[in-house]
Amino acid sequence: MFLRRLLCRASDCPQRTFREQVPGMTKRWARRTDRLTTMITRFGIEAAGRAGVRLLDAAGVSISRDTVLRLVMRQPLPFDLDREPVPKVLSVDDVAIRRGHRYATMILDAVTHRRVDVLPDRLSETLSDWLKTHPGAEIVCRDGSSAFAQAIRDGAPEAIQVSDRWHLWHGLGEAVEKTVIAHASCFRPSAGTVLKPIPAAAKASRSIDQRTAARHKAVHDLLLQGAGLLECARRLGWALNTVKRYAHAETAGQLQRPPRHRPTLVDPYRDHLRRRLLQDPQVPVTHLLAEIRERGYPGSANLLVRYINQGRLDLERQPPAPKKVKAWIMTRPEDLTEADRTYLQDVLTLCPDLKQLTELVRKFANMLTTRQAKKLPDWMESAHTSGFPALRSFVNGLRLDLPAVTAGLTLPYSNGPMEGANTKVKLIKRQMYGRAAFPLLRRRILLN
């Protein structure tokens, strides 16, 4: 391409010659073409300063990291709040800048998934001021945060708050796990009904820890005397949440945590050991050790003795962990394998309370998938009167945020796009290793 050099004939002109400009390729006074500037800016947005410079150097572009960052900070934001109206449906959530120490608040368009803005903290006042400064939001999706709920009420009182369905399901899952742990003694080795223990090696039921029983008795004795939970905590010198946990448990056995057995070197030989004990209950452990060592057992004798004394050979099948039972209960029955479906049925047969819990969970799942908010009051009443403390606490939380929960079960909007954007933010912040300030991080989040 040939460019003309033009000459000014005026004698008093400070610049006598001029180079012809090519639209879309060069600009006056620029030291780089538009395409090269766009390339450098894109590298800076994706990889920040130092990493961007290394990648550009490999591409044959020699430039400093300060120039890369300067071009990134000059780049216009994709969503101009001064010219464009605020989206009618917003999604709000906090993102960790430094987990446990610093957080920011990200705002998205819940329909187009465009990133609208990033606020420097997650304080209620900050979000409230932003909503007042940028009016126009009619629906705001959020999680169960009370701070965000108050901020939306203050900053956009006419907006409809929508509680995210995933967070509702997650909160129910936490309540289900606590309930399963409280009823774990029903399907752990001490049950000995459906899972057929070995007669000679069967263990007695686990004795309840004496300290747990004494603390449970102390709390309930004070409650019978008319003391409240705060008074119990003051007299016993315990935290209020600890007193609540003992007060909500009807028996001390519900507070007993089941043992957590990790995989060991003995597991591959469990079936052989069980068959040998069924054939000869008096077989010495040394004989068992020699037999499995011939089959390749690399462990010690102490590990084998501890494995047997823990009662892990007492049952035809290993008792499931509470988290596993919780996962079975929270999964659609048609999505479970035949083995898991059978195992869950055995557990529910051993514990009728968990069967009732499973029915409540499936009813709630049906409300979420079919958006039947009109069934929510009846479900909350059934769950509250079921006798499960963790489920009762979950229902109390729903009642405190009932309008938003009802909107979440009615409207099609959710915080799903926000979770994907949050995952991308984790990559962006770790690329900079905490060296950059918030303005650069905010701009990279909005431009990516």
The CA–CA distances, whole Å, from 322 to 174, 260, 362 equal 12, 9, 18
**How many CA atoms, within 13 angstroms, populate the side-chain half-sphere of residue 328?**
22
- Spell out the residues 6+ positions from residue 107 whose beta carbon is closer than 8 angstroms to its own: 90, 91, 92, 115, 116, 117, 118, 119, 130
The answer to whether the pTM exceeds 0.85 is no
If residue 90 lies in a helix (H) or strand (E), which one and from where to where?
Answer: strand 89-98
The DSSP code sequence of 335-378 is GS-HHHHHHHHHHHHH-HHHHHHHHHHHHHHHHHHHT-GGGHHH
Buried b vs exposed e over 393-404: b needs ≥16 C-beta within 10 Å? bbbebbeebeeb
Q: How far apart are CA 185 and CA 192, in angstroms?
A: 11
pLDDT (0 to 100) of residue 201:
35
What pLDDT score was predicted for residue 440?
87
3-state secondary structure of 19: strand
Sort residue 276 into left (φ over 0), alpha (ψ -120 to 50) or beta.
Answer: alpha
State the residue for tokens 């939970």: 229
Q: How far is the CA of 206 from the CAs of 137, 187, 189, in angstroms?
A: 58, 12, 9
Evaluate whether the domain defined by 89-164+414-447 bears CATH number 3.40.50.620: no
Q: Which amino acid, 304?
A: L
Q: Where are the domains of the chain?
A: 5-74, 89-164+414-447, 166-176+325-402, 198-318
Q: Is there a contact between 37 and 46 (Cβ–Cβ < 8 Å)?
A: no
Q: Cβ(61)–Cβ(78) under 8 Å?
A: no
**Average pLDDT, consecutive stretches of 10 residues, N- to C-terminus, the chain (448 residues):** 70 73 71 84 86 87 88 86 88 87 91 91 93 92 90 93 93 93 73 38 47 89 91 92 87 70 85 86 89 91 87 70 91 90 88 92 93 91 90 92 92 89 87 77 88
User: What was the pLDDT predicted at 207?
Assistant: 47
Q: Report pLDDT for 193.
A: 36
